[in-house]
Structure 1
């Protein structure tokens, strides 16, 4: 393994002589106007350091580039850093973040993410609560590889750190307004107030809305869920899919008392959105598909809409309602220097989010029409009963192959104490960390779920045999001479696993950590770090869907885990312009309980070599990394008959490389590019008791990914202001949508397998504007922009939920933006 990394590094050494590892941001345009790249400061090791000197694979993107790229939240970062991919799982609040082939996981409150997301040093515990919009982001850092020492658990594949701007203490206003196609309106403004003694204050606001790009044929109808849970009420089906309406507020305050500095942050986001349109490529040829197939085939008789097509549909019939998520957070960071060399820091934070009840038509089946009586006849093999006009669906009847509705929330508190020592001989970062969360969730699951006159039928009281009571019958059905459990009329809920599940995740995590760098010589540093984590996890199951199965039923379940994660790094800096390093680092994600089935922690050990250089008078910065990861006890998400399970599938190895170049060939012009390769191979993958490692694949992760951009900023022109133009192109190779190939009941590869991948695609964005024109003591900028200029329709998400379903991302968008600062 080490030799393979050495060979790979040697093969690119001629390039890397002028290269670097820490994947850098686009350089600041005004630095390019001066004819060189700007130095970038990052906190990848929990202290401020130059990007080119830190032995971590990290991309840093500054505020100016974030504005040019129209980045307002984590979701918009897709493709901006090597090995980073971000897909939405239909619902816009639920992304899948992939770093170096390892996906973040699921939104379920019983499962921890594998990519750590941090806001101003505060860990965000749930994926749903992490996609808030911020109007005043100063910098984003994307750290790749395990960050188990300084950042802690749940950063197996890496971490994303968002840093908001601190108040300046001087009066200033800056912001922008824009309008685009799909009636897109966006406005953001930040106001810096004059310092009042030691107190500085900054307030920001953001509004972002866009019309849905799909018309929904079911728009305006209602689905009454009160038969399942009165709290879920009556859900109105959205008229358009893919729409979004967000308001966000941020407050930053700094109290500078000389030795003691207190930084307070508040953020609030109110987001209303509808999920992406979902369509089907076809019914999965398994046992459930054998039952769903006839229902699909009969839809022309009943006026139903199947949403099935191997081409992209332009209208769909999805029974999806508006998702409403409210997120807010508070944090207080106290910094106190004990001396010039020693600093104490305390980070206290409280965050919460609420996701109101909603329906998302994950299986693209909301347009089907079928009744309870027809389902009973189908199960009995009674073709005449299925076709009997007396059993036919009415004008407001419908049928879900899979109905999912969820309501969840989370409250979290975290406290971290940190000590930093900086000296000529050593640098030390050490600390204590505590995290607590309480997250209830209610899930309604309806498999083969009838809806009668707009009301979801409670099939827990409906038996398979019509006209007979549910449960054990008072006569011998099977004729064995004994009336027992075998002589029962099971409910539809019990045989399909439908019903309502209520859970509450209560988790506590304690950790102590330390990382020490010893400056062995003027050019060589030796770094070692360790973190010891104790996780106490509790899952209270107060209701579980009928037939949901698993090893556990209703009850209060507790599991504890203890794990030491560590890192060892050797860094060599032969000159101020070159940094080379080798490192071994580890990551850990705690286990838990999902769907009544416990699963174990997963671990990852990564071996990495990197090189960073900056040359040609600070006009060239190039970056290279190679790595190999040993991945054990993988926590994988599976769907069985529409139900979600988590399991420890087995083992895998991941190897790859990352490269990035920034170049200022002439004054004002910056050329940037990156390329990454990820090779994920399962060593074992146990599915239903069978090792399928030879055919298993990691979902949503592309092997090849690249980006190229050009930014030009002129010098100030005679009439005031300057010209700015930018073009960005991003590439992703094809990626699997499902973890194993589709096979028919005979075991042969099914034709549906042809659609089980996202095809390779390019996305091209552009922007041109007249910037910083003087106006009334301030400056204004006017730009036109376009994203996905070639109108590429790609489908990065898919799921095997009785059918192979997928959703396509929005096509070309464009608009005009007015920026201002005073």
Structure 2
């Protein structure tokens, strides 16, 4: 590890030396700025400079997103301090986020996530299913810390907002392609149409596919289930993906009245990464002599005869209308509808393929069919009166979902139609829903909020308040010991507050102190009610641009207190269950640095430190967030050639500390489920802005996970006598990007 970091640091140093030496006679540099560029964010629901917002926030523009290959929520955890994003088992499209120790690990409709996920300002009700491509992302904002007043419930850890591109009103075409190892093939086209009076439009399409990273030793095995499941077939490889995504944007600009319609659609067929047995299970039930190819290092081939492809379809519609009553007062409305349909398919959890008397046998496996749709409406009155800025708003959210998820434990599958049942004589438990569930939910939320800010030349004061009312209903057909249809209801409400004081040293340097609360809605899971989770956070920060606007530092230190913490876990004996935790205290530090030491050369670095203290009065518990996260990157754009093109070099390094993958410590398997620290390196080298027959072309070579790390990314003890399973990170990938602009 030390050697890899040293090699990486030396490489960055070489870029710096080359840049400094070349700067003396560089002439006109490439695309990299000679000064730090401003980034516009909407952290306070209005467009502001990132440096002027007294909140810990990381912003990415389109160029940074392309350099880091960020195309979905699953890719965002690279350079944000104290943010970790990892794959998990259960769905190929459900990344697990940890932001300041708060997780979005839930795959259940009954329990919400503690990090607010947004597309174009529209809240996504389900974090499970967010690893979908957005065809035309313009910029991304990651707000750290509770955002309870302006972004509402379920933003205790923070909020992540993807903003897609708006039409420009001038004809333009952008085409991009990628080829790489593991048969990676990607194509993207975006077309901006010329404006027709006040109307402009933009449309984008992307196709992205690869053939997977781990071979399946038991491909093509079929199992036929009763509806809604149908026939599944085991995949050829694990980690493959075939995605088609479309986005469209239409804008009507009538001076004082602006209307934006945004549409996104993704159709994704994929398989989970190989779920590998890390230790041999103790199997009874007359299966003596059967062994599992267990290993704590990544295997290149696995026998998972029940692992089938997942099919995810996501669509979203949003209509944002803004009307200026006066130059200083406007009304804004955001109306949105989103829909998720996912057939997860067969999930082979035991890490092997078994037979009993020649009949396929699953030690533990599941199949899942899930659907969700949501409506939301938000209205805002925004204004400015003298030194006062204010926003008053209301929010309504209605979500319906249904989920059919039987879990098969020690179950043989003889030929013929398979009908999951609560009275299955072939099942090891006799109930295919004992560790799973079949039911539906209806979740509703209403809120009203207000936020006021006072600005002077030397200081700012701001504060907000929000009231939220939640109503939740769970209709269970079968789950655990519940085998007859039963309805459960829950209702709760909460007040959230924030207050911020900012001292402005000068127009480029400011410090702030912030108090904020957060609220994660309560509810009922499997008929068991659970309380809302609450958070109080205290934060101080510094934002400054120095050295003639060539060096930027953003720093924050925080202390937070969470009560009635909601953590979900899974075991074969209990299925998905809530791990009770009364209180968690977290201290943290975050540092982001950007430097432009010379024309064409840019450095970025970030460090996050997190110290969690979990109450142990309800039994031993352990944090699953890494204690340290860090990133470092360097990009050097050489001076332009006579034809206007230039060479660009970039390297990125990402570090995350060792961390626990299981919330419940187990002395027998704790060392196995503890994920190792890792340092991944990405690199890119390209020739940019090549004039070509009236167009502009780009070509670059890239590599991700350059040192080919094969570290454990997720692990879980399923409970005796079953295996401990794990998922390993994607190996080294590399390829070529090429593009045209005209």
TM-score normalised by length of structure 1: 0.83
Q: Tell me by how many angstroms 1:223 deviates.
A: 1.9
Q: Tell me by how many angstroms 1:498 deviates.
A: 3.9
Q: Tell me by how many angstroms 1:350 deviates.
A: 0.7
- Distance between the aligned counterparts of 1:188 and 1:452, measured in 2? 45
The question of 1:534 aligning with 2:525 is answered no
> Taking structure 1 as reference, are residues 354 and 37 closer, same or farther at Cα in structure 2, changes over 3 Å only?
same
Give the match for residue 705 of structure 1: 629
Give the match for residue 16 of structure 1: none
Per-residue CA deviation, residues 270-294 of structure 1 (Å, 9 max, x unaligned), is 000011101112267xxxx6xx367
- Distance between the aligned counterparts of 1:685 and 1:187, measured in 2? 54
- Distance between the aligned counterparts of 2:30 and 2:261, measured in 1? 31
Give the match for residue 95 of structure 1: 95
1:246-325 equivalences under 5 Å are: 246-282=243-279, 292=283, 297-299=288-290, 306-318=292-304, 319-325=306-312
Retained in 1: the 8 A contact 2:699–2:739? yes
- Distance between the aligned counterparts of 1:639 and 1:129, measured in 2? 19
- Distance between the aligned counterparts of 2:409 and 2:29, measured in 1? 57
Give the match for residue 581 of structure 1: 512
Match of 1:623 among 554, 564, 580: 554
Q: Tell me, what secondary structure is at the counterpart of 1:52?
A: helix
Per-residue CA deviation, residues 250-284 of structure 1 (Å, 9 max, x unaligned), is 10000011210110001110000011101112267
The question of 1:340 aligning with 2:327 is answered yes
- Distance between the aligned counterparts of 2:52 and 2:340, measured in 1? 38
Match of 1:422 among 384, 398, 403: 384
Q: Which runs of 5+ in 1 are unaligned?
A: 1-28, 301-305, 371-392, 465-490, 743-748
- Larger of the two Rg values belongs to structure: 1
Q: Tell me, what secondary structure is at the counterpart of 1:754?
A: helix
The question of 1:240 aligning with 2:237 is answered yes
Give the match for residue 217 of structure 2: 217
Retained in 2: the 8 A contact 1:31–1:38? no
- Distance between the aligned counterparts of 2:431 and 2:200, measured in 1? 62
1:364-375 equivalences under 5 Å are: 364-365=351-352, 367-370=353-356
Match of 1:794 among 708, 711, 721: 711
- Distance between the aligned counterparts of 1:344 and 1:496, measured in 2? 52
Match of 1:544 among 470, 478, 489: 478
The question of 1:739 aligning with 2:659 is answered no
Give the match for residue 728 of structure 1: 652
The question of 1:562 aligning with 2:493 is answered yes
Q: Tell me by how many angstroms 1:82 deviates.
A: 0.8
Match of 1:605 among 536, 549, 554: 536
Q: Mean Cα displacement is larger for which, 628-637 or 638-647? A: 638-647
> Taking structure 1 as reference, are residues 357 and 773 closer, same or farther at Cα in structure 2, changes over 3 Å only?
closer
Q: Tell me by how many angstroms 1:234 deviates.
A: 1.7
- Distance between the aligned counterparts of 1:426 and 1:172, measured in 2? 40
> Taking structure 1 as reference, are residues 234 and 500 closer, same or farther at Cα in structure 2, changes over 3 Å only?
farther
Q: Tell me by how many angstroms 1:32 deviates.
A: 7.0
Per-residue CA deviation, residues 574-593 of structure 1 (Å, 9 max, x unaligned), is 21011100011111111122
Give the match for residue 75 of structure 1: 74
Q: Tell me by how many angstroms 1:128 deviates.
A: 2.7
Per-residue CA deviation, residues 675-727 of structure 1 (Å, 9 max, x unaligned), is 101111102362xxxx32xxx2122x110110000011123212431111100
Match of 1:812 among 723, 732, 736: 732
Q: Tell me, what secondary structure is at the counterpart of 1:282?
A: coil
1:7-86 equivalences under 5 Å are: 33-86=32-85
Retained in 1: the 8 A contact 2:424–2:432? no
Give the match for residue 395 of structure 2: 433
Per-residue CA deviation, residues 149-199 of structure 1 (Å, 9 max, x unaligned), is 100011110110011111000000013101000000011111000001110
How much is the aligned-residue C-alpha RMSD, in angstroms? 2.0
Q: Tell me by how many angstroms 1:594 deviates.
A: 1.7
Q: Tell me by how many angstroms 1:564 deviates.
A: 0.6
Q: Tell me by how many angstroms 1:296 deviates.
A: 6.6
Retained in 2: the 8 A contact 1:460–1:493? no
Q: Tell me by how many angstroms 1:549 deviates.
A: 3.2
Match of 1:591 among 522, 526, 539: 522
Give the match for residue 24 of structure 2: none
- Distance between the aligned counterparts of 1:570 and 1:408, measured in 2? 45
The question of 1:515 aligning with 2:447 is answered no
> Taking structure 1 as reference, are residues 282 and 499 closer, same or farther at Cα in structure 2, changes over 3 Å only?
closer
> Taking structure 1 as reference, are residues 33 and 225 closer, same or farther at Cα in structure 2, changes over 3 Å only?
closer
Q: Tell me by how many angstroms 1:496 deviates.
A: 8.2
Q: Tell me, what secondary structure is at the counterpart of 1:150?
A: coil
Retained in 1: the 8 A contact 2:228–2:369? no
- Distance between the aligned counterparts of 1:81 and 1:713, measured in 2? 24
- Distance between the aligned counterparts of 2:598 and 2:732, measured in 1? 32
Give the match for residue 681 of structure 1: 613
Q: Tell me by how many angstroms 1:449 deviates.
A: 1.5
- Distance between the aligned counterparts of 2:147 and 2:84, measured in 1? 18
Q: Tell me by how many angstroms 1:130 deviates.
A: 2.8
Q: Tell me by how many angstroms 1:452 deviates.
A: 2.1
- Distance between the aligned counterparts of 2:218 and 2:533, measured in 1? 42
- Distance between the aligned counterparts of 1:495 and 1:329, measured in 2? 37
The question of 1:773 aligning with 2:705 is answered no
Q: Tell me by how many angstroms 1:553 deviates.
A: 6.2
- Distance between the aligned counterparts of 2:414 and 2:582, measured in 1? 44
Retained in 1: the 8 A contact 2:421–2:433? no
Per-residue CA deviation, residues 629-686 of structure 1 (Å, 9 max, x unaligned), is 1010011112341511124422110111000110111110001100101111102362
- Distance between the aligned counterparts of 2:599 and 2:210, measured in 1? 38
Per-residue CA deviation, residues 128-162 of structure 1 (Å, 9 max, x unaligned), is 34332112111000000001110001111011001
> Taking structure 1 as reference, are residues 154 and 709 closer, same or farther at Cα in structure 2, changes over 3 Å only?
same
1:137-156 equivalences under 5 Å are: 137-156=137-156
Q: Tell me by how many angstroms 1:356 deviates.
A: 2.0
- Distance between the aligned counterparts of 2:96 and 2:713, measured in 1? 10
Q: Mean Cα displacement is larger for which, 586-595 or 260-269? A: 586-595
- Distance between the aligned counterparts of 1:816 and 1:497, measured in 2? 47
> Taking structure 1 as reference, are residues 642 and 424 closer, same or farther at Cα in structure 2, changes over 3 Å only?
same
Aligned length: 709
Give the match for residue 125 of structure 2: 125
Retained in 2: the 8 A contact 1:402–1:447? yes
More helix by share: 1
- Distance between the aligned counterparts of 1:500 and 1:577, measured in 2? 55
Q: Tell me by how many angstroms 1:444 deviates.
A: 1.2
- Distance between the aligned counterparts of 2:546 and 2:730, measured in 1? 40
The question of 1:664 aligning with 2:596 is answered yes
- Distance between the aligned counterparts of 1:415 and 1:231, measured in 2? 32
> Taking structure 1 as reference, are residues 496 and 39 closer, same or farther at Cα in structure 2, changes over 3 Å only?
closer
Q: Which runs of 5+ in 2 are unaligned?
A: 1-27
1:153-164 equivalences under 5 Å are: 153-164=153-164
- Distance between the aligned counterparts of 2:416 and 2:730, measured in 1? 30
Q: Tell me, what secondary structure is at the counterpart of 1:348?
A: strand
